[in-house]
Amino acid sequence: MTTTIYKILTADQWAQLQEQGESSGAPIDISDGFVHFSTQSQVRETVDKHFKGQAGLFLIAMSTVALGDELKWEPSRGGDLFPHLYARLCMQAVQWAKPIECVNGEYLLPELDND
């Protein structure tokens, strides 16, 4: 079972989460009524599809255990199950945060946890 999931945040969104200890997520999260996450196998497609051309991004690893029962696995892209959080992001669930480098238009993701 996946115990680590990933959230991509802008530098401002990451700073807000650190400062306030919690966040409603990105504008799309607020609009959709839940916080979008990706698994290890989904994060590459997520960053390429939804963040193209953006700089100053951070990859946040979060514990599914710490997120609790408000985390739901729901079908999305082609029926693949994606983790969606029906609660606010909380700093206590953050395992680590690392910048995502962009070189010549290609995102270089940090090493991901193998679970």
Return the residue matching tokens 């910048």: 99
- Domain extents for the chain? 4-108
Q: Are 64 and 114 in contact (CB under 8 A)?
A: no
Q: Which secondary structure element, helix H or strand E, spans residue 72, and what is its range?
A: strand 71-75
32 or 79: which carries more pLDDT confidence?
Answer: 32
Amino acid 16: pLDDT: 95
The token pair that represents 9 in the structure block: 């945040």
| Entry pTM | 0.92
- Note the pLDDT tens digit of each residue in 72-90: 999 986 788 999 999 999 9
Indicate whether 103 pLDDT > 90: no
The one-letter code for the residue type at 23 is S
Protein fold of 4-108:
ADP-ribosylation fold (3.20.170)
Between the CA of residue 25 and those of 8, 82, 103, 111, 115, what are the distances in Å?
10, 16, 26, 23, 24
User: Is 48:8 a contact under the CB 8 Å cutoff?
Assistant: no
